[in-house]
Amino acid sequence: MLSNFSSNVILAKARAMYGRRLTKKNYSDLLNCQSVSEIARYLVNNTDYAKILSGINDRDIYRGQLENLLKQKLFEDSAILCRYEFSVGDIFSGYLLQRSEIEQILNVLLHLTAGMPSEYLFSMPMFLTNRSRINLVSLSDAKSFDDILNALGGTPYRALLEPLRPQAGMPLDYKAVENALYTHLYGGVYEIIRRRTHGEAKKQLLEIFDTFLDLTNYIRIIRLKTYFHSGYDFIRNSLLPFGTLRENQINDLIAAQGTPQIRQAMEQTSVGKRTRNIQHNFTDQISSRAIYHVCRHSIHFSSRPSVVMLSYIFLTQLELMDIINIVEGIRYKLPANEIKKLLTFADF
Amino acid sequence: MAVQKIKMTSIIGRMTELDQVTEICGESEFFHPDNALSFYSDTSQFTPLSEENPYAEPLQRLVESTAKVKRKLDFVPRKPGKEDQPAPKDEELITYANRFADEMEDYRRGREKSKKTIQELTRSMEDISHFTGLELDLDEIRKCAYIKVRFGSLPKESYEKLDFYNENPYVIFFPSSHDETQYWGVYFAPIDQAAEVDRIFSSLYFKRVKLANYKGSPETALKQMEEERNAEGKRIQEADSRFSAQWKKERSRCCEIYSRLTERSVYFGIRRYAARYNDSFILTGWIPADSEEKFKTSLDPLQSVEYTFENAEDNLNHSPPVRLKNKKLFRPFEYFIDMYGLPSYDEVDPTPFVAITYILLFGIMFADLGQGLVVSLLGHWMWKKKKMKLGRILIPCGICSAVFGTVFGSFFGFEHALDPLYRGMFGLSKKPFEVMEPVTTNLIIYSAIAIGLALVMIAMLINIYSSLRRKHYENALFGPNGAAGLVFYGSLVFGFGGKAAFGWDIVNTPYIICLVVIPLVLIFFREVLGGLMEKRPNWKPESWGEYIMQNFFETFEFLLSYMTNTMSFLRVGAFVLVHAGMMLVVFTLAEMMGGIGYVLAVLIGNVFVMALEGLLVGIQVLRLEFYEMFSRFFEGEGRAFQPVIAREEAQ
């Protein structure tokens, strides 16, 4: 009980940190930047990213460098909050770390599949080396799937990847690896929410994750059906086993022909009804925009520290994704209004 | 507590008249379009209209080009009485917009090119400065035939990663200088390995400095670049003055074209909500109920068009949009509701409740006649001059502060300045409330709790009314904020509170069983009871053990929230005391100074107290509204009624 009251400091701290988010003007100005260097310079001079980017040579910064620095800020900000939140803070900081570790494992597997495993080193974020349970330097040294398993020794990932070792002469089942890792990640999160929270906090936390994962599954179904014309079994195995969608609803979604029909089937579900009015420019966007709405409401009005903290983490992640999208858009010389369509935050 | 009555309208007609319909809808400025397909269960015969908006591109080009040259386009409404005059043709609008956008683009591109050249020259000068003083002969380096020499810089992180990389023996970097983030230096590669080595260094974010492009030494190259940079600066100045003259000449015409293009583009945008059925269209949307006749009159002249209107109450499953409609005094407080989330169409609009309670609580907590009037005037200025919505809220709050300030006898902190008023008007020997006296202090604290009790119970009553209206019987009858919760909370308040305050002896065993235990049991089993009452098939919990365990904690949390929510209102009394206390400090400091220092201390002290206390009280009352009251009866999941209005889209 005492720890719950002590956690209340999160409410003020997270909201104060959220108050330093990018403003509408910041977004407009960023869209008008002409190069990655200009974006970096703008972030240094006008936003809360100044501290993490201070000292960089904004003239010569590359996209990958900028992304790594911004991700580092997300880590550091979340770590500040997690220190105060006794009930589930360690879990959410663990969630962020696990997500990053999974991204690194998938990244090294992509390099391995492309036949350039040693070049994973170049994209490896150095700030993670001190925090991660994985020895990233060993991972960067891996030349085969077995080397990767060895580098993952002592972590739960090894046991997850072991059964997915490719047979000689067969390609790696990347999708299965991705699914196994993310199932492990979200399974842990759900377990903790169920065991360590209750009442309104539990309800609100579950709403955030359920909404996110329901929509993630929905997007996967659309993608796999539309772009890859995958069959029922493949799609079913590619979905994350979480969320509120019932078996028959998932079957309806998979059975529907074409995107409008899948959308219609989704609108029959409770999450579909709730998110029906969310404006989006392409299907993939609906998940981030829905989460943005839920988390923005929670960070403003929830009185549960764990919910406010998680909302802050999600909102910061979305802001980070928006900056990365702006950087990508500017690199590929897209017009500002086209880049704007890619953003989660578009109310400017 | 009102949400404006809305009607759903479906308009059907021939495709040839769709443009006229969208124009009428747009010009009405009260039509909120909605996706027509989502209103029908069988949409197999309908196709959405996904045509390209022909006005969007020229309009966007015009707006973007103007913004890029840092000029502003103003929306000019059509002159009243001249609506019948022939409007400019589409072709005329599009040609002008494209032509003027091209001219602005040319000017901007030229300017940007010069600016970029200046930046590049400055960068190159900076880069080269890292290699001056090394006595390099660039001509000699250019002569190397079998090795490639690359000067440049690496980020510190990449330089450190090189320690772990041992795949390619030619990947070696020789630093010549460094700072906290960057290493400058050189690498060499045999001519046949150059492409691979370059690729690897590129992955490490190597930034090349093309020193070999220059003749002589780095020092001579620097001098040459300085001269080129000055010439580019002059070119920019000349282009600026040429464009300023042209903008002065064309501004009004450009704004006119921009406005007409915006209107047509916005009206065309309504088409994407429509659906096509053979050669007919169907357009669905929402209009205020009181605009029905006006809307019909404007649609009637169209030959093929037919329309229907339905009450929004019959279409709740389509979540009708919400526009709040409140009396003038309450209207400013819609700002707070908008901030929290609008009510659903069938939900109670809490604006009047918020307005009354916010004004009252603010007045009590910030009670000072003089400071209240200043806050009101400040609010008036914020609203009239700065168009700040908060200003309109501060006006009544300040007046209420002045009223309670008169009751507590405080005028800019002078606690006895109003005594003559009490003597003259009410025949009192001194002011009625001496805030800092122990007896009054207790009264203030008890009153604050009483206010809390009353407001929490009113919030519960609103929840019961709202839930019954929405047929949420579980929430209305068995919820912690429903009838069961109200009986439980009320019986504790009247039973134990009445005993403590007035000596009522009404608590006995039947009282406890009927009014405390039974409501608590109902709250505990609210989901089961609600499920049975609403005939939900899944009313029975999957596991009774888990259900009881979970509800034990939840009920405990509710009980705690009754107590904490009520105690939270102590801050109302606390702020009355804080105000008196802070002004006491101001006057103590002022008296220590004396003379002109006294006047200055009172003046600065008042400004400080007004700013600090005004802000704190404003936030604290809002907190009470959102957490202590809204959480009991308000969901705020409605969507805003947003009619298509061209002039607003232009802003």
A214-270 pLDDT, tens digit each: 999 999 999 898 888 888 888 988 899 999 998 889 999 999 888 888 888 888 888
Count of structural domains within chain B: 1
CA distance A267 to B338: 26
A122 touches chain B (CB under 8 A): yes
* Mean pLDDT (whole number) for B452-457: 94
Query: Smallest Cα–Cα separation from B35: which of B21, B55, B23, B50?
Result: B50
- The answer to whether B408 and B417 have CB atoms below 8 angstroms apart is no
B548 touches chain A (CB under 8 A): no
Please list every residue in chain B whose beta carbon sits closer than 8 Å to the beta carbon of residue A65: 155, 157, 205
**Whether the predicted pLDDT of B651 surpasses 60:** no
**Cα distances (Å, whole numbers) of residue B212 to A13, A204, B119, B150, B479:** 54, 62, 20, 9, 80
Instruction: Enumerate the H helices of B413-503 as residue ranges.
Output: 419-421, 438-469, 473, 483-492, 498-502
Chain B residue with minimum CA distance to A304: B627
Instruction: Pick A198's closest partner by Cβ from B112, B207, B553.
Output: B553
- The answer to whether A96 and A309 have CB atoms below 8 angstroms apart is no
Instruction: Pick A118's closest partner by Cβ from B167, B319, B626.
Output: B167
Cβ-Cβ contacts under 8 Å between A and B: the total is 69
Chain A residue with minimum CA distance to B180: A55
A337 touches chain B (CB under 8 A): yes
Distance from CA of A174 to the nearest CA of B (A): 24
Tell me the one-letter amino acid at B391: G
Burial class (CB in 10 A: 0-12, 13-18, 19+), A243: buried
User: Quick one: pLDDT at residue A91?
Assistant: 66
Task: Find the angle CA(A233)-CA(A165)-CA(A230) to the nearest 5 degrees.
Answer: 20
CA distance B135 to B138: 9
Distance from CA of A240 to the nearest CA of B (A): 23
A163 touches chain B (CB under 8 A): no
B129 touches chain A (CB under 8 A): no
User: Quick one: pLDDT at residue B379?
Assistant: 95
- The answer to whether B147 and B191 have CB atoms below 8 angstroms apart is yes
- DSSP assignments along B264-284, one per residue: HHHHHHGGGG-EEETTEEEEE
Distance from CA of A55 to the nearest CA of B (A): 7
Please list every residue in chain B whose beta carbon sits closer than 8 Å to the beta carbon of residue A293: none
**Cα distances (Å, whole numbers) of residue A318 to A295, A314, A346:** 10, 6, 12
Please list every residue in chain B whose beta carbon sits closer than 8 Å to the beta carbon of residue A56: 181
The parent domain of residue B157 ranges over 136-216
Q: Is residue B199 part of a domain?
A: yes
A65 touches chain B (CB under 8 A): yes
**Whether the predicted pLDDT of A3 surpasses 60:** no
Distance from CA of A111 to the nearest CA of B (A): 13
**Whether the predicted pLDDT of A329 surpasses 80:** yes
Interval A4-27: pLDDT, tens: 555 677 788 888 899 999 999 999
Instruction: Enumerate the H helices of B481-594 as residue ranges.
Output: 483-492, 498-502, 509-512, 518-524, 526-533, 544-567, 570-593
CATH number at residue B173: 3.30.70
Tell me the two tokens of residue A280. 């989006």
Please list every residue in chain B whose beta carbon sits closer than 8 Å to the beta carbon of residue A57: 153, 155, 181-182
User: Quick one: pLDDT at residue A37?
Assistant: 82
Please list every residue in chain B whose beta carbon sits closer than 8 Å to the beta carbon of residue A11: none
Burial class (CB in 10 A: 0-12, 13-18, 19+), B223: exposed
B205 touches chain A (CB under 8 A): yes
User: Quick one: pLDDT at residue B13?
Assistant: 94
Chain B residue with minimum CA distance to A297: B340
Chain A residue with minimum CA distance to B341: A297
Tell me the two tokens of residue B511. 């009282």
Query: Smallest Cα–Cα separation from B112: which of A130, A6, A34?
Result: A34
Please list every residue in chain A whose beta carbon sits closer than 8 Å to the beta carbon of residue B165: 118, 121
Instruction: Pick B341's closest partner by Cβ from A32, A264, A297.
Output: A297
Please list every residue in chain A whose beta carbon sits closer than 8 Å to the beta carbon of residue B200: 119, 122
- The answer to whether B282 and B11 have CB atoms below 8 angstroms apart is yes
CA distance B134 to B361: 75
Please list every residue in chain B whose beta carbon sits closer than 8 Å to the beta carbon of residue A336: 64
Instruction: Pick A303's closest partner by Cβ from B60, B203, B627.
Output: B627
DSSP state, B327? -
Higher pLDDT, B84 or B336: B336
Please list every residue in chain A whose beta carbon sits closer than 8 Å to the beta carbon of residue B181: 55-57
* Mean pLDDT (whole number) for B85-92: 79
User: A140 and B164 in contact by Cβ < 8 A?
Assistant: yes
User: Quick one: pLDDT at residue B14?
Assistant: 94
Which of A:194-233 have CB within 8 Å of B? 198-200
Tell me the one-letter amino acid at B582: M
Please list every residue in chain A whose beta carbon sits closer than 8 Å to the beta carbon of residue B626: 301
Q: Is residue B364 part of a domain?
A: no
- Residue B637's pLDDT band (boundaries 50, 70, 90)? confident
User: A60 and B207 in contact by Cβ < 8 A?
Assistant: yes
Q: Is residue B381 part of a domain?
A: no
3-class DSSP state for residue B80? Answer: coil
**Whether the predicted pLDDT of B80 surpasses 70:** no
Q: Is residue B168 part of a domain?
A: yes
- The rounded radius of gyration (Å) of the Cα atoms in chain A is 21
Tell me the one-letter amino acid at B546: E
Instruction: Enumerate the H helices of B270-388 as residue ranges.
Output: 292-299, 334-340, 351-365, 369-386
- DSSP assignments along B204-247, one per residue: TT-EE--GGGS-S-HHHHHHHHHHHHHHHHHHHHHHHHHHHHHH
CA distance B365 to B237: 59
Distance from CA of B350 to the nearest CA of A (A): 16
- The answer to whether B401 and B375 have CB atoms below 8 angstroms apart is yes
Instruction: Pick B340's closest partner by Cβ from A198, A277, A301.
Output: A301
Query: Smallest Cα–Cα separation from B403: which of B356, B446, B371?
Result: B371
User: Quick one: pLDDT at residue B520?
Assistant: 93
B319 touches chain A (CB under 8 A): yes
Instruction: Enumerate the H helices of B82-155 as residue ranges.
Output: 90-129, 138-142
Q: Is residue B205 part of a domain?
A: yes
CA distance A270 to A276: 10
Q: Is residue B84 part of a domain?
A: no
Query: Which of B225-230's residues contact partners 24+ apart within 8 Å by CB, and which partners?
Result: B225/B121, B225/B124, B225/B125, B225/B128, B226/B125, B228/B117, B228/B121, B229/B117, B229/B118, B229/B121, B229/B122, B229/B125
**Cα distances (Å, whole numbers) of residue A39 to A66, A327, A331, B113:** 9, 7, 11, 19
Interval A89-132: pLDDT, tens: 666 777 888 888 999 999 999 999 888 888 888 888 888 888 88
Query: Smallest Cα–Cα separation from A307: which of A5, A1, A6, A8?
Result: A8
Within chain B, how many helices (H) and strands (E) appear? 25, 10
Distance from CA of B395 to the nearest CA of A (A): 26
Tell me the two tokens of residue B337. 């509701």
Burial class (CB in 10 A: 0-12, 13-18, 19+), A54: exposed
Q: Which letter, b or e, does each residue of A216-233 get, where b requires 16 or more Cβ atoms within 10 Å of its Cβ?
A: bbbbbbbbbbeeeebeee
**Whether the predicted pLDDT of A2 surpasses 50:** no
CA distance B70 to B82: 32
Q: Is residue B181 part of a domain?
A: yes
Tell me the two tokens of residue B150. 């690359």
Test the B interface: residue of A72, A122, A276 with most B CBs within 10 Å? A122
Q: How high is the mean pLDDT of chain B?
A: 88
Interval B7-32: pLDDT, tens: 999 999 999 999 999 999 998 999 99
- The answer to whether A25 and A347 have CB atoms below 8 angstroms apart is no
* Mean pLDDT (whole number) for B634-646: 89
Query: Is the sign of the CA dihedral B204, B205, B209, B212 positive or negative?
Result: positive
B158 touches chain A (CB under 8 A): yes
Distance from CA of B203 to the nearest CA of A (A): 6
CA distance A80 to A84: 7
CA distance A57 to B155: 8
User: Quick one: pLDDT at residue A50?
Assistant: 86
In percent, how much of chain B has pLDDT > 90?
A: 46
Interval B208-217: pLDDT, tens: 887 767 777 7
CA distance A66 to A57: 11
**Whether the predicted pLDDT of B83 surpasses 90:** no
Q: Is residue B156 part of a domain?
A: yes
CA distance B99 to B231: 30
A124 touches chain B (CB under 8 A): yes
CA distance B521 to B487: 12
Which of B:5-44 have CB within 8 Å of A? 38, 43
Chain A residue with minimum CA distance to B205: A62
Higher pLDDT, A56 or B57: B57
3-class DSSP state for residue B253? Answer: helix
Query: Could you tell me the pTM of the whole model?
Result: 0.64
User: Quick one: pLDDT at residue A86?
Assistant: 61
Q: What is the largest CA-CA distance in chain B?
A: 109
Task: Find the angle CA(B10)-CA(B16)-CA(B18) to the nearest 5 degrees.
Answer: 35
Interval B459-475: pLDDT, tens: 999 999 999 988 888 89
Q: Which residue has the tokens 């009014």?
A: B515
